């Protein structure tokens, strides 16, 4: 038996997976552009806007489904989680845009050491892919893994922050010190990556809530 | 004595069912039959005082049978038989020494179809039970009638025409009159079997609001087919299926995260 609610849940599901694809593509593209030192942000801006519009659509549809059908149990939990996850996905898009925007604002950063960002980006993008995969397969165990990866990201972020505010004893050896553009852009982007990693965890939480009904307190 | 004999003996029954302190109503190992057909299977249900408990489940699952066995109303049905215990505080209402009339006074009931006494005025509908119980003091009866009609949120609408026939009221008003009639006996527990299924949304909302107010003073058990109504009015929800109590718990949990697949399917409308 197909319930009227099922048609609405189908649409909601399509919208959220569309956001998933778009946000993953945004983040991957932003990292590629950073690596190339390319600050062309027009594409990222467009995707970020699309994600924001999709987020609004999801919220509206979610409210409509609640008003019309008063869903309960798994249906209700899925709808609530879609609202939360769509916010997470739109943040992925926004931070991806912000990364490219930094390149544009700073001018050429081709000569900067990119290893710190690339190291963190590896984990963060992996987390984003895993959070989307968790949603696709309704994997309740993903949240736990995501939080473990988030610890790595947080540790990296703190390490670089500490380095940045510690007066260098080996002046001249580090191009971060030589060029404030490298130094500021690196810290900003590390910050965006760290934020994205948190949102990937929240997506994991929201998936876990759909499946188990227990909302894990945000750590 | 064989173990089988022991299991069916009085000793075992008495040993297994004892009053549950802290609960207003405690249903224990309740089984019920209509002739050969089993209608309730080993029902256990503990109801806290000053709460609303909703009984939900598909048609024929035994909701009416269960609620009617909570004040021995079912005994009046041909072929009906009950085993097990229903404690009201510390009294097993099925104990042979218990007077069913007193039980019906302590546990009132409101039915699906409003059923005011057809030949009586509004006033007499509410006063009838009091008189039947030997109360003659006119001032006292006046007081209780007014209080009960106020309690049922009907007073303002009928106070100037208490002599009018009860059946001249609208359906929603008649249902509140029946609630007033039940309240006049000052029951500790109020049983309601689909009390709003014959009413329009506004009249239903009034009854729902009433339940919310009444639970300050008494304990309410309601049968409803309206899932949203159960979600709105009840603190606890019991889901029944084919004579069994499948799941029972706080309403928010049952509707947000039920334990049993069967419950989930029923409340989500995935049955059939
Ligand atoms: N007076 C009766 N004589 C024989 N069988 C009965 C009688 N009343 C109920 N039953 C049977 O007992 C079972 C439970 O009936 P009950 O009226 O308790 O169901 P219910 O959950 O209240 O259903 P509904 O939602 O339709 O009111 C059903 O199989 C019904 O056929
Ligand atoms: Mg019934």
CB contact under 8 A, B256 and A214: no
In a domain, A116, yes or no: yes
CB contact under 8 A, A1 and B272: yes
Q: Which CATH architecture has domain B3-267?
A: 3-Layer(aba) Sandwich (3.40)
A105, with CB counted inside 10 A (0-12, 13-18, 19+), is middle
pLDDT at res. A172: 47
In a domain, A9, yes or no: yes
CB contact under 8 A, A213 and B257: yes
In a domain, A217, yes or no: no
Residue B174 has pLDDT above 60, yes or no: yes
Number of domains comprising chain A: 1
Residue B40 Cβ contacting ligand 1 at under 6 Å? no
Residue A217 has pLDDT above 70, yes or no: no
How do residues B54-78 score in pLDDT, each as one tens digit? 999 999 999 999 999 999 999 889 9
The angle formed by the CA atoms of residues B35, B36 and B42, to the nearest 5 degrees, is: 100
Residue A177 has pLDDT above 60, yes or no: no
How do residues A22-61 score in pLDDT, each as one tens digit? 999 999 999 999 998 887 899 999 999 999 999 999 999 9
- According to DSSP, residue A167 is labeled P
Residue B131 has pLDDT above 50, yes or no: yes
The angle formed by the CA atoms of residues B11, B16 and B22, to the nearest 5 degrees, is: 135
Residue B190 Cβ contacting ligand 1 at under 6 Å? no
Confidence of residue B17 (pLDDT cuts 50, 70, 90): confident
For A11, the domain range is 4-212
For atom 17 of ligand 1, the residue with the nearest CA is B64
Range B146-170 average pLDDT: 95
Using CB atoms, pick whichever of A1, A73, A213 lies closest to residue B267.
Answer: A73
In a domain, A19, yes or no: yes
Q: Rounded mean pLDDT of chain A?
A: 92
Residue B15 has pLDDT above 70, yes or no: no
Residue spans of the domains in chain B: they are 3-267
For atom 24 of ligand 1, the residue with the nearest CA is B59
Give the number of other Cβ atoms within 10 Å of residue A219's Cβ.
10
CATH value at residue A33? 1.20.58.220
Residue B16 has pLDDT above 70, yes or no: no
In a domain, A218, yes or no: no
Chain A contacts of B268, Cβ < 8 Å? 3, 71-75
Q: Which of A72, A81, A208 to mutate to test the interface with B (most CBs of B within 10 A)?
A: A72
Residue B249's H or E segment, with its range, is strand B244-250
A5: contact with B, CB 8 A cutoff: yes
Q: What does the DSSP assignment read for A119-153?
A: HHHHHHHHHHHHHHHHHHHT-TTHHHHHHHHHHHH
3-state secondary structure of A112: coil
Ligand 1, atom nearest to B67 Cα: 18
A74: contact with B, CB 8 A cutoff: yes
ipTM of the complex: 0.80
CA of A110 to the centre of ligand 1 (A): 80
Range B5-22 average pLDDT: 68
Q: Are B229 and B40 in contact (CB under 8 A)?
A: no
Residue B65 Cβ contacting ligand 1 at under 6 Å? yes
How do residues A90-146 score in pLDDT, each as one tens digit? 999 999 999 999 988 888 888 899 999 999 999 999 999 999 999 999 999 999 999
pTM comes to 0.86
In a domain, A219, yes or no: no
How do residues B88-102 score in pLDDT, each as one tens digit? 999 999 999 999 999
């Amino acid at each position: 038996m197909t319930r009227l609610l099922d048609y609405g849940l189908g649409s909601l599901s399509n919208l959220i997976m569309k956001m998933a694809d778009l946000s993953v593509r945004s983040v991957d593209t932003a990292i590629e552009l950073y690596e190339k030192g390319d600050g062309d942000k027009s594409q990222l801006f467009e995707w970020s806007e699309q994600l924001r519009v999709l987020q609004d659509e999801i919220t509206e549809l979610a409210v409509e489904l609640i008003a019309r059908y008063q869903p309960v149990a798994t249906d209700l939990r899925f709808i609530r989680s879609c609202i939360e996850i769509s916010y997470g996905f739109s943040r992925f898009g926004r931070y991806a845009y912000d990364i490219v925007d930094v390149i544009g604002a700073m001018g050429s950063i081709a000569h900067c050491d990119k290893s710190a960002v690339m190291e963190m980006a590896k984990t963060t993008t992996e987390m984003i892919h895993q959070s989307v995969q968790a949603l696709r397969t309704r994997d309740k165990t993903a949240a736990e893994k995501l939080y473990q990866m988030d610890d790595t990201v947080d540790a990296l972020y703190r390490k670089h922050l500490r380095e940045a505010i510690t007066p260098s004893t080996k002046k001249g050896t580090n191009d971060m010190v030589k060029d404030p553009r490298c130094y500021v852009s690196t810290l900003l982007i590390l910050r965006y990556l760290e934020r994205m990693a948190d949102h990937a965890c929240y997506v994991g939480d929201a998936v876990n809530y759909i499946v188990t009904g227990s909302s894990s307190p945000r750590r | 004595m064989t173990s089988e004999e022991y299991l069916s003996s009085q000793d075992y029954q008495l040993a297994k069912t004892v009053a549950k302190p802290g609960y207003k109503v405690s249903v224990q190992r309740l089984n019920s039959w209509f002739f050969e057909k089993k209608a309730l299977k080993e029902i256990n249900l503990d109801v806290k005082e000053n709460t609303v408990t909703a009984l939900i489940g598909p048609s024929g699952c035994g909701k009416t049978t269960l609620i009617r066995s909570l004040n021995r109303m079912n005994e009046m049905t041909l072929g009906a038989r009950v085993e097990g215990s229903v404690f009201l505080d510390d009294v097993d209402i099925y104990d042979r020494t218990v007077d069913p009339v007193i039980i019906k006074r302590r546990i009132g009931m409101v039915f699906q179809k409003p059923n005011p006494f057809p030949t009586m005025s509004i006033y007499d509908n509410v006063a009838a039970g009091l008189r039947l119980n030997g109360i003659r003091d006119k001032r006292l009866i006046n007081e209780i009638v007014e209080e009960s009609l106020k309690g049922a949120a009907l007073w303002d609408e009928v106070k100037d025409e208490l002599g009018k026939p009860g059946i001249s009221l609208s359906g929603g008003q008649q249902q509140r009159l029946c609630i007033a009639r039940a309240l006049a006996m000052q029951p500790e527990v109020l049983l309601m079997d689909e009390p709003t299924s014959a009413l329009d949304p506004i009249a239903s909302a009034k009854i729902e609001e009433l339940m919310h107010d009444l639970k300050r003073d008494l304990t309410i058990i309601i049968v409803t087919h309206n899932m949203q109504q159960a979600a709105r009015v009840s603190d606890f929800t019991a889901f029944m299926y084919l004579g069994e109590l499948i799941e029972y718990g706080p309403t928010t949990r049952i509707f947000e995260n039920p334990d049993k697949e069967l419950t989930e399917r029923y409340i989500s409308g995935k049955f059939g």
